[in-house]
Amino acid sequence: MGGTQLASGEPEKEQKTAVLASVKPQIKLMARQALALKVSTRKASYTAV
């Protein structure tokens, strides 16, 4: 990495996108799990009634 790149702030932007790219799938997975949990608890309450 060159000093000239750092001055323009490009590496920082690339790092942010890399972090976002790695975090997005996790967020999707968590959201899916939360949704599945909601559905399963709803089904459980239906069976209880």
pLDDT digits (tens, 9 = 90+) for 12-43: 888 889 898 999 999 999 999 999 999 888 88
Q: Quote the pLDDT of residue 26.
A: 94
Of the two residues 1 and 37, the one the predictor is more confident about is: 37
**Cα 33 from Cα 41, distance rounded (Å):** 12
Of the two residues 33 and 46, the one the predictor is more confident about is: 33
What are the DSSP E strand ranges found in 1-49?
Answer: none
Q: Are 11 and 5 in contact (CB under 8 A)?
A: yes
Asked if pLDDT for residue 3 goes beyond 70, the answer is: no
What is the number of alpha carbons within 13 Å of residue 11 lying toward its C-beta? 7
Q: Quote the pLDDT of residue 43.
A: 80
Q: Quote the pLDDT of residue 7.
A: 56
What is the number of alpha carbons within 13 Å of residue 20 lying toward its C-beta? 6
Q: What is the DSSP letter of 1?
A: -
